[in-house]
Each structure stands twice: as structure tokens, then as C-alpha cells.
Chain A
């Protein structure tokens, strides 16, 4: 018990870790706020710089960036009507109208406090449920991990992007990128084309930097000009009465955020939209209508997306299955540091788990401090022209790709993934599933083969195992339900109906 407390407060008491968490949170706020910079991008680049550090240092910085970044998007959403991150899309709906009415400071203050509140709910859930889930997960077999990973990729594939087919394509592409190199079970080469370079595989951090950093930078070239909107900022510290008034909304939203965050594959952006929708339905008589600056519409998505951070760590640390794209990248970081996220992480390295919990809490404290201060400087920095920002991102990405193995070839990989990712993005694909595929692909492959070998290569036994074991059966049902909801059948039926009516050319 005392030991756990020690790990929990490690980053609070060690000045160096305290400083790193603070720096990470502050940097995260800016990364999240500047449109074109994303948390995923920042964390992927950071991994390559911090892999020589001790695990605690690296995790402290990354946790800070994660927490700060999820919040930071709300700042630009409120002040400029440009969500700095996908998780702030719902925030802009009511935040910007508030700013237009001259309540920008109040909006930022309320957002900050409620974000921190949501963050703490998520962390509490992480501390309470992760150990329980990890105990339970010890009963999971290879089959179950295979299904969980499939569910994760499927969820990301269905909830993001234009179509299910595009999500599946992106996920499968990621799996194949993860397969390149020597097969870990038989040491046979896969997709190596008899070259030595490819035998070691494609470093997944390079793929992440390419898809999230460089590709995004190329996409941002379409939108070089950021409209500069000046907002009057007055009172930032929110009123106590307001906090009390919106407490229930925030609590509900935090619950939604934690659960959505904990589902494999879904993260803060979806949590925020769902919580906004829920708040809209649950609030009978808002003071101001939703969409015109309702405070409920500001509180709900922000509490939810920060709660999703803690939630997303639950499957990541207990099952080794990322809760969203950022945690997929963080799993990559843990692998690099020689850790194996999974049910045994809590048994073998409990200090790491409690350290993460304490550290996330600390990052939220810093969020409160930085969130309520420095807003005037903030508006100046965010106006940094993209024409300067984009070349800098590219240099950071190049150094990051190089730093992993000190291999110049990796920078070419980065450019290749960047260009490919650019075209994928332009044609309506999401790159999130690709990264999930890269991380989960090798794990799915190994678990599938273990399960198949366990069934003595007999397909009938293999399938029967899925039905005869209760955990596998439940997961299988969840997987199939998800799959059926996405089959083209309902859509084809709708398309047939639509064909009878005159074609609607303007749709979409």
C-alpha cells in the first residue's frame, strides 16, 4: 500500500519529473491548439526523441502532452472557431458563439475547469477498474486477444472516415506494414523481397510519423491562411455558481467519455460528439439554445474528451490494446522501452501503472494552472503562420525518423508514407486505422496462429473453441454484431429505395 502511494506520488515529488510533466502539459496545450499540429503527431515524434531516456521521464513528458493536447484543441475552437484537434469539434459549436458575445474568457475558464474535472473522473476510473480488468484479463486466451484486436480496428474503421470499406482497407494496410520483416515465430522473411533492409521490418514509429506528421503537413498546405480573429478576453476564472450549475452535465459527460475512451479503438473525438449529443437531449431548458453559445454544450464535450484520456489507458495498460490512435502510439513507446502492455504489466511492473496514474493526475493539475493563465500570450503564438510551421514540422519529422535507428533510409520511408498518407487523406481515408493495424497486426498474427496451433490446425475445432468458451463467445457476438451493422446490406436496401426517387445530385 505504502509502496503504491510512493509510485503514485513519484512524479509529484521528484522535481525533474515534475518539470517534465509541466513542460509536456504546456507544450501539449499549444500542440493541441495549433490547427495542423496533432497530439498523435507530437507523441509519435516525441517517442523517437525520448527512447533513450528512462521510461519514467519519457512517460511523464508523453502523458503531459497527451493531457494538454486533448484540452488544447478547445482554445482555438472557442477563440477562432477552428477546432485545433478533432476532439474539439463539438466544443466549437457553442464555444465560438460565446466568444462572439464577448464571453471568450469565461468560456475558456469553464472549459478548463470542466476538462480537469473530466480528466480526474477518467483517471479515477483507470485506477479503480484497470486492476480489476487486468485480473479478469488473465483468463483471456489467444482467441480473445485476436477478437479484441479485431474489434478495436473495426471500431476505428467504422467510426472514422467516409466508408466502412475505406476503414477496413486502412486497417488491413496497417496490419501488412506490421508484418514486413522476419516472422517472429519461424524467422521466415515476409515481404522482404530478399533485401536485408526490409528484414528488420519497417519501424512503426517511422510509419506513424509519416502518416500523422508529414501527411498532415502536406494536407495543411491546402489551408495556409488562418483567419486572424481577435477576441476580447476578460474574466477567466469561472464563477462558483456556474460550476455547481453544470456539475451534473459534466459528471454525465465524464462517464460517457470514460466508457467511450475505454472501448478499444474509440477515443476523445467520438466521446466529445456523443457527450454533446447527450447533453443536448438531457438539457430541457438551456439558458441559451444549443449552437448559440449554450454553456452545457461547452462543458459536455470538454469533460468527455478529457475523461476519455484516462479511459483510453485502461485497455492499453491491461490488455495491450490501444483505446485510440494516441494510445496506439504510446503502446509503441512502451514496446520501445521494453515493456509489454497487457494483463501482466500490472503484475510485473505495478510501479509503472501507478506512476502513470499519478502522472496523469499531475498533468491535470498543471492543466488547471496553465489553462487559467497565459491566454493573452497564447492568442499571439497560435497566430504563427503555417508557412513557417509546416517546414518546421517536416524537419522535426525527419529528425524523429532518423533518430530511431540512426538510419537515413528511414527518412525516405517517412516521405513515402507521408505522400501515400496525403493521398489517402485527400480521398477520404483515415490514417488512424493504419496505425492501429501496425501495432495490432503482429499481435493478431501471433494470437491467431497460437489459437490455430492450439486447435491442432483443425478449422472445425478452431471455430468450436470460439463458441464453447464463454469469454470468446461474448466477444465473438460483439464482433459479429459490429460487423453486421456495417455490412453493405442495409445500405444497399436504402440505395435501392433512393433509386426509385429522382436522383439527388446535391447530396454530400
Chain B
């Protein structure tokens, strides 16, 4: 594989973040049992996090050798975290947060409707129909085939 000449937008920051993350994990691994023995619980975590530090250093060196991506924040937003991804992550987060209150079915229905409407951009009626069909399918599969316990909401006292 021939090396790329240019970084991806945000790649340098990501490489630095990975290194920082690895160093922090190494410090945490050291705290488990330090260098007190060769078969202590902390040895393997230290080896693994040490490998992470070494490999993230190697990654960082390679990234530094490449030319900058150019385009700045705007390109990062366009290529790496476009609005679509950001909105979806926010929707998923809202979905998880709402589940304990609304219950699984209502929260999933709303999430399906909102995200399909956002991604698909068809008429509201069509989106609603598709979400309902999807929800019905999920409900049947989970409660009948897999018999999974689904989270119930506190809002309607577990009615849905």
C-alpha cells in the first residue's frame, strides 16, 4: 500500500488524542500493581497499554510526515462529522435517554419516525407508515420470536 501524501481532516488531532488516551490507560494500568511482580494482575494491562502507547506514537509520527489536510474545520465538518452523523448521534442519544420514561415502543417509534424523516426526506405520511411497519415488525420479532424483555417506561406506568 502506498502511503497517502495528505492527512485526512482531523487526523492529526485524532492521533494526538489516541496517544493521550493510551498514556492515560498506561498510567491507570500502572496503578493496578506497578512493577511489584511478573505475574501480578497489572502486568498484562501494562503490556497492552504500553503497546498502545508505542503504536499510537508510530501512528502519530506517520501522520506528522504527511502534508496537512487543508480546508480547516470546514472540511473536517464536511468529511468526518457531517451534519448527518452529528444529528444521528444526537438522535440516538435522545432515544436512549427517553427510553426509561417513554418505554421501548414509544421511544423507538419516535426515533424511527424522526430519523427516517431526517434521512429520507419523503412525505410525513409515508415516513409514518414506514416507521409503523418497522415498529410492528420489531415488536413481533422481539416479543414473539426472541422473547426479549424490553424496557418499559415510567411515564405511562409500563402500559406500553
Give B43-67 interface residues, CB cut-off 8 Å to A. Answer: 43-45, 48-49, 51-52, 54-56, 58-59, 62
Give B71-96 interface residues, CB cut-off 8 Å to A. Answer: 80, 82, 84-85, 88-89, 92-93, 95-96
Any chain B CB within 8 A of the CB of A183?
yes
Any chain B CB within 8 A of the CB of A399?
yes
CB–CB B1/A162 < 8 A: yes
B residues in contact with A169, CB < 8 Å: 18, 22, 51-52, 55-56, 59
Any chain B CB within 8 A of the CB of A402?
yes
CB–CB A221/B85 < 8 A: yes
CB–CB B116/A391 < 8 A: yes
CB–CB B41/A186 < 8 A: yes
A175, A221, A412, A426: the one within 8 Å of B8 (CB): A426
Residue of B nearest to A449 (CB): B39
CB–CB B3/A507 < 8 A: yes
A residues in contact with B51, CB < 8 Å: 168-169, 171-172
CB–CB A218/B112 < 8 A: no
**A366-B150 Cα distance, complex, nearest whole Å:** 32
Any chain B CB within 8 A of the CB of A351?
no
Stretch touching chain B among A74-82, A278-286, A382-390: A382-390
CB–CB A503/B93 < 8 A: no
CB–CB B5/A185 < 8 A: no
**A169-B19 Cα distance, complex, nearest whole Å:** 10
Any chain A CB within 8 A of the CB of B35?
no
A residues in contact with B59, CB < 8 Å: 163, 165-166, 169
Given known A-B contacts A163-B59, A191-B45, A411-B99, A391 and B5 have beta carbons under 8 A apart: no
Any chain A CB within 8 A of the CB of B149?
yes
A50, A222, A388, A415: the one within 8 Å of B92 (CB): A415
Given known A-B contacts A390-B119, A399-B150, A508 and B55 have beta carbons under 8 A apart: no
B residues in contact with A390, CB < 8 Å: 88, 115, 119
Q: How large is the interface on B (under 10, 10 to 19, 20 to 34, 35 or more residues)?
A: 35 or more
CB–CB A452/B39 < 8 A: yes
B5, B22, B43, B56: the one within 8 Å of A505 (CB): B5
**A406-B51 Cα distance, complex, nearest whole Å:** 34
B3, B25, B38, B108: the one within 8 Å of A508 (CB): B3
CB–CB B151/A402 < 8 A: yes
CB 8 Å contact bits of B1-25 with A (1 = contact, 0 = none): 1111100100100100010001001
A163, A391, A452, A505: the one within 8 Å of B111 (CB): A391
Any chain B CB within 8 A of the CB of A326?
no
CB–CB A508/B148 < 8 A: no
B51 to chain A, nearest CB (A): 4
Any chain B CB within 8 A of the CB of A448?
yes
**A497-B134 Cα distance, complex, nearest whole Å:** 57
CB 8 Å contact bits of A365-409 with B (1 = contact, 0 = none): 000000000000000000001111011101110110011001010
A393 to chain B, nearest CB (A): 11
CB 8 Å contact bits of A171-200 with B (1 = contact, 0 = none): 111011001000101101011000000000
Any chain B CB within 8 A of the CB of A66?
no
Given known A-B contacts A385-B120, A411-B99, A218 and B89 have beta carbons under 8 A apart: yes
CB–CB A388/B45 < 8 A: no
Any chain B CB within 8 A of the CB of A52?
yes
Residue of A nearest to B67 (CB): A505
CB–CB B119/A224 < 8 A: yes
Any chain A CB within 8 A of the CB of B155?
no
Any chain B CB within 8 A of the CB of A459?
yes
CB–CB B134/A392 < 8 A: yes
**A457-B42 Cα distance, complex, nearest whole Å:** 14
A residues in contact with B140, CB < 8 Å: none
A52, A218, A411, A445: the one within 8 Å of B88 (CB): A218
CB–CB B55/A176 < 8 A: no
Any chain B CB within 8 A of the CB of A423?
yes
A179, A395, A412, A488: the one within 8 Å of B48 (CB): A179
Any chain A CB within 8 A of the CB of B100?
yes
**A452-B142 Cα distance, complex, nearest whole Å:** 47
B29, B40, B85, B148: the one within 8 Å of A399 (CB): B148
B38, B89, B108, B130: the one within 8 Å of A395 (CB): B108
Q: B residues near A, CB below 8 A? A: 1-5, 8, 11, 14, 18, 22, 25, 28-29, 32-33, 37-45, 48-49, 51-52, 54-56, 58-59, 62, 80, 82, 84-85, 88-89, 92-93, 95-96, 99-100, 104, 108, 111-112, 115-116, 119-120, 130, 134, 138, 142, 146-151
Q: Which 5 A-B pairs have the closest CB atoms?
A: A508-B4, A387-B119, A387-B120, A165-B58, A183-B41
